[in-house]
Amino acid sequence: MHKFTVTIAREIEADTAEEAALLLYQELSRGPVPDCYAVTDETKATTEVRLDREKADEFASIDHTADPGNW
């Protein structure tokens, strides 16, 4: 299994870094889940990934931990 760092980017106006993080948390907890991500692999190569919302919702509804291929 490989390790990836997945990042979302939002430009947020705030007085402090903590406030910016809290505002992002508030946005994520109330709004739609973002569908565009920057994904960095173990070699530090970064790829922009835009998910198909319908396919992503279908994937999210399945318990992938129950797949023996993940053991």
Average pLDDT, the chain: 90
Banded model confidence at residue 28, pLDDT cuts 50, 70, 90: very high
What is the rounded distance in angstroms from the CA atom of residue 68 to the CA atom of residue 71? 5
CB atoms within 10 A of CB 20: 15
48 Cβ partners below 8 Å, 6+ apart?
36, 37, 38, 39
Please compute Rg for the chain using Cα positions.
Answer: 15
- DSSP secondary structure letter of residue 10: -
Q: 33-66: per-residue pLDDT in tens?
A: 899 999 999 999 999 999 999 999 899 898 777 6
pTM attached to this predicted model: 0.70
pLDDT confidence of residue 31? 85
